[in-house]
Amino acid sequence: MYNDIKLEKGLYNLSEKSFTGALEELDPSSAYCGTPMEKLDAFERQLKRFNIRISGQGCDRVEKFFSSTETAVLFPEFVTRCIRKGFEETILSSVCAAQTVSGSSQYLGCVMDDTASYTSSAQSAVLPATVVKESTSAITLSKYGRLINASYEAVRQQRLDVFGVMLRSIGVKLAVAVVKDAVSVLTTGADVITVPSLTYGSLAKLYGSFDCFNMNTIITSPEASSEIVAMEQLSDTSTDANGKFILPFGSELVKTSAIDGNILIGIDRNFALEFITSSNLVMETDKLIDRQLDQITVSITCGFRKITPDAVKVLKVVKPAE
């Protein structure tokens, strides 16, 4: 049971296991089906065990994690989860078709030659071929990180929900830096449609440029998205239940400061992009446990690969010279 687990630093250093994964092995969530704790994972059960409230009325302060040597072990996972939540709340979840974990900082994927026509074939004729082969060039993953300076004395009295929001904001900004790489990969070698101005007609032209695939996502800058939302043709358009702005032809409008204002990227998010990581978010756990919060780093090593070039189209606004 969760009350009997001995929390120690070593749970963070088990090969190929996250801290929560190590806890789940000791305290499987499947054992709690049909109980009041069935919706909690192993980490959340430890918070309940030590009565650490990280949100809501009566939320605790940072120092609650350091009331014992065992509760201090939980603090790095709290920090990591907050930053990861901010990281995952960005557009990455809306644009990536697949996520791959690589064992090194070099990733060699597959490429597909699918240029042969999809036509009917005569009896006994050789069928048109699609060739899948290993890529001749590897993708080098890049490291993105942040140095966090926050002495224990400075944050010990901070409410955990407020401190969590601060950490989430770091995750959001870290993800924006990562998205710039995704934008570069998507636009490189993509079919480009040039228009003199951003109009509803140009959006429809981008939509109509897709053949086999469906443009279910448009990636834009904040400036371009504001122009789109203000279009007269979209005056009756509203967000869906999840707060997403869906254009009349079914494309989700996604905005990010990682893209230039004169570029819009239309993609079929089910086929366009692969997100590659060599690890999850990496945190210096020992320092956090020992309350040495100065010079703490968080980082992720990742990169992107275009899976299906036909699932990506670019609209570029080039205003005529005056």
d(CA 249, CA 252): 9
Helix axes 69-88, 42-49, angle to 10 degrees: 130
Quick check: 241 pLDDT over 80? no
Per-residue pLDDT reduced to its tens digit, 151-172:
889 899 999 999 999 999 999 9
- pLDDT value, residue 69: 92
d(CA 197, CA 213): 25
- Over residues 95-104, mean pLDDT: 90
CATH homologous superfamily of 184-275+307-317 equals: hypothetical protein PF0899 domain (3.30.2320.10)
pTM, 2 dp? 0.85
Q: How wide is the angle at C-alpha 19 spanned by C-alphas 17 and 22, nearest 5°?
A: 60
- State percent of the chain over pLDDT 70: 99
- pLDDT value, residue 322: 59
Quick check: 29 pLDDT over 90? yes
d(CA 85, CA 160): 15
Domain boundaries, the chain: 184-275+307-317
Per-residue pLDDT reduced to its tens digit, 270-320:
999 999 998 778 888 888 888 888 778 899 999 999 999 999 999 999 988
Quick check: 137 pLDDT over 90? no
C-alpha separations of 85 from 130, 233, 247, 305 in Å: 39, 35, 27, 23
